[in-house]
């Protein structure tokens, strides 16, 4: 394949499985999300209405939920799994229930995550499973674990329960040969997550990558963390699994640093984040026999750059250590075009009860509005495809 053969502006491929009606609905939703004012009103109204117990779940499900989620249950996601699979795109089932606080709720979430691992077994359309440690753990305990403060007896019990849940999920993934991502979270709880991820990789990644940790390259220290992780893996004899993302908690990180008077862990500007992201990809490519990695990005320049590097280095598109990933409902021009050219690509497909998924959806709407240009780019592509169809 020549370097210029891949066209991420190919809207006919990007939206091939969308009907005219689906295209128009998606366009209307992104138009609303592109307006900070309308977006603020709609997300605020959703919080308010749900807080009062008003019957708005149906409306949410028919609009923003349908665009960004696969369904309320694993079974409801089947149509999305099949639809993506026909285009050569994998599904990553992401149980998006957040904000639970009780041990019983954490155990229920762990059981559901394990069901996603089991559902993925032997299904080529589901290449990875995923979970967030905060979904199965109290935030306060994760924060205390990360600060390395001495834990009291109650916190120690919670710590042991967290560790047991993480190991149970990773152990199942290992037994089934089903890779699983551990998502990255806020910096003040990430150290505990990193330590557990490293322990799970040392235990289960002998010979192949089953457990993947995640690095957020908008943090100033993560490129070095990636290098240190590879050295640890080499020393302890396991394959490093790593998902590379830019990050999702920038405003929250900066606000907390300012409030508490410590140095922000976030890069000073987007250019620095982009530079570290590209350097992380380069590092993984230069150690491809030791690192299995996933380029989790909606950035077209980064995606094109990696495709060109794979081409230049004669790395086949289906190399098992190189994967691309985007969120369901976003950047179809990347996912569908990559799949058309034979690359390993998958979509994060969140699912769960509408009411429980609302925090995720509101965060997604707010993130998309604050991500300079992302929604505008989606709108341009949608407009172009609608115009192309009108001219046919």
Which pLDDT tens digit goes with each residue over 293-316?
999 999 999 999 999 999 999 999
Q: What is the pTM assigned to this prediction?
A: 0.92
Q: Among 172-181, 242-251, 279-288, where is mean pLDDT lowest?
A: 242-251
pLDDT at 97: 82
pLDDT, mean of residues 133-160: 94
pLDDT band, residue 54 (cuts 50/70/90): low
Residues 212/182, Cβ–Cβ less than 8 Å = yes
Higher pLDDT, 133 or 359: 133
Higher pLDDT, 360 or 133: 133
Alpha helix ranges (H) inside 237-331: 250-260, 270-286, 300-312
pLDDT at 375: 77
pLDDT at 43: 52
Calpha distance 46→366 (Å, rounded): 13
Q: What percent of the chain has pLDDT over 70?
A: 89
Calpha distance 232→66 (Å, rounded): 42
pLDDT at 41: 41
- Residues spanned by the domain of 303: 72-356
Q: What angle do CA 348, 353, 354 make, to 5 degrees?
A: 85
Contacts of 13 (CB under 8 A, 6+ apart): 333, 336, 337, 340
pLDDT band, residue 369 (cuts 50/70/90): very low
Q: What percent of the chain has pLDDT over 90?
A: 77
Does the pLDDT of residue 367 top 70, yes or no? no
DSSP state of 63: I
pLDDT at 280: 98
Higher pLDDT, 224 or 53: 224
pLDDT band, residue 57 (cuts 50/70/90): low
Residue 217 lies in a domain: yes
Does the pLDDT of residue 370 top 50, yes or no? no
Which pLDDT tens digit goes with each residue over 59-103?
677 777 888 899 999 999 999 999 999 999 999 999 988 778 899
- The mean of the pLDDT values for the chain is 90
Q: Which residue has the tokens 């779940």?
A: 57
Write the CATH number for 228.
3.20.20.220
pLDDT at 64: 77
Does the pLDDT of residue 1 top 50, yes or no? no
Residue 263 lies in a domain: yes
Does the pLDDT of residue 222 top 50, yes or no? yes
Residue 5 lies in a domain: no
pLDDT at 86: 98
Does the pLDDT of residue 38 top 50, yes or no? no
* Strand, coil or helix: 383: helix
Contacts of 129 (CB under 8 A, 6+ apart): 92, 93, 113, 116, 117, 120, 173, 178, 179, 180, 181
Residue 367 lies in a domain: no
Q: Which two tokens stand for residue 204?
A: 């289960």
Q: Which two tokens stand for residue 392?
A: 């046919």
Residue 312 lies in a domain: yes
Residue 239 lies in a domain: yes
Residue 24 lies in a domain: no
pLDDT, mean of residues 164-183: 98
Q: Which residue has the tokens 């322990």?
A: 199
Domain count of the fold of the chain: 1
Residues 169/113, Cβ–Cβ less than 8 Å = yes
pLDDT at 32: 75
């Amino acid at each position: 394949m020549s370097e210029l053969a891949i066209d991420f502006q190919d809207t006919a491929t990007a939206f091939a499985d969308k009907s005219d009606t689906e295209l128009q609905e998606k366009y209307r939703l992104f138009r609303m999300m592109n307006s900070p004012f309308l977006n603020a009103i709609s997300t605020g109204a959703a919080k308010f209405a749900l807080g009062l117990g008003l019957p708005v779940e149906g409306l949410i499900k028919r609009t923003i939920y349908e665009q960004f989620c696969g369904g309320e249950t694993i079974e409801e996601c089947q149509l999305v799994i099949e639809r993506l699979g026909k285009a050569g795109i994998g599904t990553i089932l992401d149980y998006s229930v957040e904000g639970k606080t009780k041990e019983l709720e954490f155990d229920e979430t762990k059981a559901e995550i394990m069901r996603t691992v089991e559902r993925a077994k032997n299904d080529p359309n589901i290449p990875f499973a995923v979970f967030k440690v905060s979904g199965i753990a109290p935030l306060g305990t994760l924060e205390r674990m990360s600060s390395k403060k001495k834990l009291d007896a109650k916190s120690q019990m919670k710590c042991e329960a967290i560790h047991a849940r993480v190991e149970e999920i990773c152990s199942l993934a290992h037994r089934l040969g089903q890779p699983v991502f551990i998502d990255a979270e806020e910096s003040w709880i990430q150290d505990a997550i990193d330590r557990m991820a490293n322990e799970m990789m040392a235990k289960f990644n002998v010979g192949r990558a089953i457990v993947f940790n995640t690095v957020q390259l908008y943090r100033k220290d993560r490129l070095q963390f990636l290098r240190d992780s590879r050295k640890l893996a080499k020393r302890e004899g396991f394959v490093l699994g790593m998902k590379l993302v830019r990050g999702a908690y920038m405003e929250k990180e900066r606000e907390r640093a300012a409030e508490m008077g410590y140095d922000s862990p976030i890069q000073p500007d987007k250019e620095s984040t982009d530079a570290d992201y590209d350097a992380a990809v380069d590092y993984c490519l230069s150690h491809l026999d030791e690192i299995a990695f996933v380029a989790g990005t909606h950035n077209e320049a980064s995606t094109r750059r990696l495709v060109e590097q794979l081409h230049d280095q004669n790395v086949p598109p289906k190399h098992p250590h190189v994967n691309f990933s985007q969120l369901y409902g976003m950047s179809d021009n990347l996912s569908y075009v990559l799949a058309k050219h034979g690359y390993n690509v998958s979509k994060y497909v969140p699912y769960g009860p509408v009411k429980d998924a609302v925090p995720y959806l509101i965060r997604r709407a707010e993130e998309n509005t604050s991500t300079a240009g992302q929604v505008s780019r989606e709108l341009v592509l949608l407009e172009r495809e609608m115009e192309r169809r009108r001219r046919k």
